Structure 1
């Protein structure tokens, strides 16, 4: 029997993107719920678990680096986006199966390294899926489709988290890796293989050859640079994406840590995670529908505000019962939680899942509204990547704060910090002139100045002039973002500047790969003069570019 091409109909498109996002959610749920729960039971601390979960999301924070390659290097025979999805899903299966022989928690470092590779392919798959969505979904489908897509991710998270926890007595953790790999394989066979993309219009077809690819990359970089800085809505989207999407603590490892500490067994944790994801999935669809009807910014403002309420409620209950600091299996006296405290965790987590689901069904659609379809895989993916960076650093700081400050104060900080993004939300709206509003020049100068300052701040940090202490992983992640963003800005900016500032453009091209290589410092020598020289040179070039006129961005280009 020949399976249908799901991209041909509205229902088919919604179905396809639902299952594609299921494959994204399954590994995340497996790591953040099933693996994290077992680690806490084996007395691994909240800070170490938070760092593990944070590192799991880290490749997704830089997935926008794959965007230009996915947009430029395509195959008409396999499908412009389908070929990438197919290849990455195969590698997801391979890397999961490679983890079956590991011994936890003794080999947690090895598992983290393998899952970093796994998630690099997962991030690459996500880029291709999002680009396929931008290019195939009709405008009146986007709100509902985003709700359905993130609903699929929530269901996938439930399968990978709750499903594996339920099966744990029968298959063990190693069997969990096989189970997750098998679920992805089913989607590959029954959803991805039958997909047929529309042929790429002749005007958009890429010629073959390395030289042609280089020219395409240069042209593409210019288009992407203009898209991010050309309109106020697209530019504001960068900052909105970097901030936490509301309070996050009840959706990350902190919640599962608490569940284990108050005495919930694997089945109870699994049921909590299952109901959380089912409710969240339904709320995602509802949130998308409501945003299409009443406006994305208005509804998103309400959803983000609601996310802080369950967090504040749980903070109050934990304070009342004096459940302040994380417990340990080494404690002389084992604490026993009151039934009312366990109930409060259920109530807070389920209420939070409603608000979080409503938010997820809307937040991605608002980024689609300010994305240039010509560079969809890069621009939209960059927004999604920055959202994942926010998840990564949130999981990391919350684990550190829980051990240093206790659970109630951590929840309070999370509830307040989660509302900061509301200040940026009103600025994110489609421009009347999508090709550019003439303000790109000033935005380019602002961005160059901010990145230059970030590179300079690294120097005293690296020299040890201020001690980050336990927060060092958070600082390292943020500096990595600065270095990678600086490299991309300088490389793409050189193409945009062209002959108007050839010397500074070339200097930027030279500095870009060295700044990008700073991403690898974790695996290099602990001390090297290069760690000071490269950021200093990058800061000098960026500061000089911050003084340029960027005339090419002052006038919006004519539509193609």
Structure 2
């Protein structure tokens, strides 16, 4: 017992809590988002290019992408569970983060052992679905923790670091995973990813959310007063609060923007490996190297200046600029087909797309965090992201029929049209009104609790 207590004291001194150390907060969420990006680099980029290189049809590739994207639309099922149940002595969301990390490792090991995956597409899609499920699971817990722990004035910078870290992970694992895939085999490639996730799991394992909480269940510690205050204890309160905040006008507009933007990004993400490999004659390795470089630059740019630009010039202004650049660059690509044979031109488009994708996503997620009600943080933020991922599935599923009936120019132009619709919706979004609405809801709850306490005393 004494040795356990001594270990707990030493650990507490070596590792301050997330709530009291901003540098540790940034590092912690950078690590967790990096872990999320590890499987995504292969599932959404490396494997589709590998499938295209091996003669799989756009429909088969899009089917795999849909299978991997589907669990991200189920996030809302697990989010209320995380708001309702947890082991508070270890933190409000940390136990769920650890469970998600463990699930990612085990599911990657399962996927690595799918026999002859290219000719066993059903099991291959199931494996991709399971890996994505635990990726989405961990994402819900991480985002809920971020809304709870990160102060409002640090959310834009934190989102820049988090999203940039994820893009760096995607680019790193896309390049590394594809190289291992070509030099060795599929099993070696995916097992390596599982090992990387295992190493990162050490970060949330040794860092508390708040002071005096337990590192592990058998160590000393207790739930903090703040988490006890935030924790809801019945389903009625969770869903009623979620309904109240989500029925606000600006919540609905933000949800539509998330659906359209994230769906359009995934549409082009899935389309690019098919376009470059089948239309331009690239190899899957060449595509992976180029796209990994573009993603890496985009991720680093997001980490360095993405959050700063949002803080400096405002969320809506910068989102308008990002959308305009995405539309203009895609229209340019469509109307200068003669330059498609110029590799540098395609490289430049991929680079610009990735940078704007990262910057716009940072802005969207910072807005979503600011619009959340902390008491249902995991559920509300996840509902935004669930709707966004429904967009990823719905718009990626359009690739097969659109490409079957139209030219490459029209298929690519579809992305610009989608972003144009998101830009139109953005003009109706009023962030300040949303924040005011959340404050009113919170004050209303405080008044009701006070009335109940007074009646009880009487």
TM-score by length of 2: 0.85
- Report 1:60-79 matches (<5 A): 60-79=72-91
1:346-366, Cα deviation, whole Å (9 max, x unpaired): 121112112112212211001
- Partner SS for 1:424: helix
Match of 1:97 in 2: 109
Deviation at 1:178, TM superposition (A): 0.1
Supply the distance in 2 between the matched residues of 1:49 and 1:98 (Cα, whole angstroms). 20
Corresponding residue for 2:218? none
Match among 74, 83, 90 for residue 95 of structure 2: 83
Structure 1: how far apart are the matches of 2:390 and 2:257?
A: 12
The equivalent position to 1:116 in structure 2, one of 114, 124, 129, is 129
Partner residue in 2 for 1:385: 386
Q: How many angstroms does 1:557 deviate by?
A: 5.2
2:191 is matched with 178
2:190 is the alignment partner of 1:205: no
Give the corresponding residue for 1:414: 415
CA distance in 1 between counterparts of 2:424 and 2:36 reads 30
**Structure 1 residue 306 and structure 2 residue 325: aligned?**
yes
Shift of 1:424: 2.2
1:224 to 2:238 alignment: no
| Alignment partners' CA distance in 1, 2:50 and 2:320 | 36
CA distance in 2, matches of 1:389, 1:245: 9
Q: Say which is worse superposed, 234-243 or 125-134, in terms of deviation.
A: 234-243
Q: Which residue of 2 aligns with 1:296?
A: 315
Residue 235 (1) aligns with residue 255 (2): no
8 A Cα contact 1:56 1:112, kept in partner: yes
TM-score by length of 1: 0.70
Question: Unpaired segments of 5 or more residues in structure 1?
Answer: 322-337, 439-554
Q: Measure the CA separation in 1 of the matches of 2:306 and 2:179.
A: 29
The question of 1:130 aligning with 2:172 is answered no
Distance in 2 between residues matched to 1:66 and 1:316, nearest whole Å: 44
> Distance in 2 between the 1:48 and 1:169 partners?
21
RMSD: 2.6
Matched, 1:347 2:351: no
Secondary structure of the equivalent of 2:144? helix
- Find the counterpart in structure 1 of residue 298 from structure 2: 280
> Pick from 254, 259, 264: which aligns with 2:282?
264
Question: Displacement of 1:273 after TM fit?
Answer: 1.8
- Aligned to 2:234, the other structure's residue is in SS state helix
Distance 2:325 2:183 in 1: 39
- Counterpart for residue 359 of structure 2: 358
Task: In structure 2, list runs of 5 or more residues that go unmatched.
Answer: 1-9, 214-222, 450-458
Q: Comparing 306-315 with 295-304, which one deviates more in the overlay?
A: 306-315
Structure 1 residues 299-338: aligned runs within 5 Å: 299-318=318-337, 320=338
1:36·1:253 contact (CA, 8 Å) conserved in 2?
yes
Asked whether the equivalents of residues 164 and 302 of structure 2 are also in contact (C-alpha less than 8 Å), the reply is yes
1:244 aligns with 2:255: no
Specify the alignment match of 1:37 in structure 2: 49
Return closer, same or farther for 1:218/1:352 CA change in 2, 3 Å cut-off: same
Higher normalized contact order (CA 8 Å, seq sep 6+, divided by chain length): 2
CA separation of 1:206 and 1:354: change in aligned 2, threshold 3 A: closer
Q: Give the CA deviation at 1:428.
A: 3.8
- Write the distance in 2 (CA, Å) between the matches of 1:63 and 1:345: 35
Change (3 A) 1:284 1:353: same
Deviation at 1:265, TM superposition (A): 2.8
Shift of 1:339: 4.2
Q: Across the two proteins, how many residue pairs are aligned to each other?
A: 419
**1:279-331 deviations in whole A, cap 9, x for unaligned?**
2113323222111111111111111221122222222233x47xxxxxxxxxx
Q: Which runs of 4+ in 1 moved over 6 A?
A: none
CA 245–181 in structure 1, closer or farther in 2 if over 3 Å, else same: closer
